[in-house]
Amino acid sequence: MLDSILESLHVIELPTKTNFRGVTAREVALFEGPAGWAEFSPFLEYEARECVPWLVCAIESATQSAPQPIRRRIPVNATLPAVDGLGKIQEILSWYPGCSTIKIKVGSDLSADMQRISDVRATAPDAKIRIDVNGSWEVDQAYRALKSICDAGPIEYVEQPCATAEQLRELKKLLNGSVLIAGDEVLRKARSPMQVDLSDAVDILMLKVAPLGGIARSLELAKKHGLPVVISSALESAVGISYGIKLAAALPELHYACGLATGKLLGADVALLPLVDGCMEVASLEPSPDALLDYRVSPERLERWRQRIRDTWAAGAQAWVLEEGWVW
Ligand SMILES: [Mg+2]
């Protein structure tokens, strides 16, 4: 299996339209297996152990057929990076036709955050607003910041306001139901996402198909934790996003718009995944041969990705795949 992956590997670098979590170009590895195309795109700073679920997800996508979809259209949210200025915010929000939910990155500076939220409200007065803090607040700070933010207008939920499950639990008690909390890193970065105790810590669970090890594993996690979920992306190309859409389509229940429209933040993509009236549809797609050529990386970088895959395979992906019994 490893040889098949390495032989069919394409690595491309897609430009981003805006700086997103410090990323101005997104490198992704793609390969095609018997069940379809797969994406392996852990961020460059991740070590082999952290890349294991990403590779397992890619192998699942290449070798297993996705579960039967329960729905075909997935409502998605607009994602606004931590950018400032009304003009810039209006420009980015215009990339998401029909999206009535907006996720705003916040957490580095409260007055800039408040201004960003207020500019979003001025641009889209009827939109639901959710904010993502990426775990950067302390408990007291989160409590105070949320009070100021909510005094200016309601939010749908706050994603990962503090870093740890203990802090989230403490904050949830203080908030006493006034603001819903979604957990992202607390699950995704946990050593054992299946074992992490999220009781009384979060109200909603973010699920990202690649860092959690694929569709089957994500569905198990949703069941195990028993919370409403939001499927979100890790800024993948259309290949990885289409896999996230298949997960969203297979969930027994879906109450929230999903964060799967992040392809709008890329300056180029390998395939078209239309966003119509705020929804994306289940699709099996193939990357365009032109895009694979036009955005390919140098032979040295391709070799570095091959080595990364070998290291990830050895760090646990091989054992996981064996246990699942997936063959290629
Ligand atoms: Mg997040």
All structural domains of the chain, each given as residue ranges with its CATH number in brackets, are 2-65+288-324 (3.30.390.10), 73-281 (3.20.20.120)
Closest by alpha carbon to 210, among 59, 21, 87, 82? 59
At residue 2 the predicted structure's pLDDT band, cuts being 50, 70 and 90, is very high
> CB-based contacts of 33: which residues, under 8 Å, 6+ apart?
4, 5, 8, 59, 61, 62, 63, 328
Q: What are phi and psi of 117, to 5 degrees?
A: -65, -40
Q: Which of 96-100, 183-187, 188-192 has the lowest mean pLDDT?
A: 188-192
What number is the average pLDDT over the span 76-80? 97
Average pLDDT, the chain: 96
Q: 81-119: per-residue pLDDT in tens? A: 999 999 999 999 999 999 999 999 999 999 999 999 999
Measured in Å, residue 8 CA sits from the centre of ligand 1 at 32
Please enumerate in sequence order all residues whose Cβ is within 8 A of that of 13, keeping only pairs 6 or more positions apart, or say none: 25, 26, 27, 295, 296, 297
Q: In this predicted model, what pLDDT tens digit does every residue of 14-47 receive, in sequence order?
A: 999 987 667 789 999 999 999 999 999 999 999 9
Could you tell me if 197 and 165 are in contact, meaning their C-beta atoms sit under 8 angstroms apart? yes
- The fraction of the chain above a pLDDT of 70, given in percent, is 99
Calculate how far, in angstroms, residue 288's C-alpha sits from the geometric centre of ligand 1.
29
Which one from 105, 172, 246, 264 is the annotated catalytic residue?
105
Using DSSP, state whether 3 is helix, strand or coil.
helix
* Signed CA dihedral, 53, 13, 275, 34: sign only: negative
Read off the pLDDT of each residue in 42-62 and give the average, rounded to a whole number. 97
251: pLDDT strictly greater than 70 = yes
CB-proximal residues (5 Å) to ion ligand 1: 132, 159, 184
pLDDT of residue 19: 72
Q: Is 173 a catalytic residue?
A: no
Q: How far is the centre of ligand 1, averaged over its atoms, from the C-alpha of 267 (Å)?
A: 21
pLDDT (0 to 100) of residue 320? 98
Q: What is the distance between the alpha carbons of residues 48 and 53, in angstroms, rounded to a whole number?
A: 10
Closest CA to 106 of 142, 132, 77, 88: 132
| Active-site position among 172, 208, 246, 264 | 208
Q: Are 209 and 243 in contact (CB under 8 A)?
A: yes
pLDDT surpassing 80 at residue 141 = yes
> In angstroms, what is the span from residue 22 Cα to ligand 1's centroid?
14
Q: What is the tens place of the pLDDT at every residue in 202-225?
A: 999 999 999 999 999 999 999 999
Cα of 322 vs centre of ligand 1, distance in Å, is 31
Q: What is the pLDDT of residue 21?
A: 64
Distance 227 CA to ligand 1 centre (A): 16
pLDDT value for 90: 97
Partners of residue 128 on adjacent β-strands: 101
Q: 223 catalytic, yes or no?
A: no
Determine how β-strand 275-276 pairs with β-strand 279-281: antiparallel
What pLDDT score was predicted for residue 18? Answer: 81
Residue 248 CA to ligand 1 center (angstroms) comes to: 17
Confidence of residue 161 (pLDDT cuts 50, 70, 90): very high
The candidate with the shortest Cα–Cα distance to 39, out of 72, 12, 16, 78, is 12
For position 231, what pLDDT does the model report? Answer: 98
pTM, 2 dp: 0.96
Given a cut of 80, whether residue 76 has pLDDT beyond it is yes
- Interatomic CA distance for residues 301 and 44, integer angstroms: 11
CA of 74 to the centre of ligand 1 (A): 19
C-beta of residue 83 within 8 angstroms of C-beta of residue 18? yes
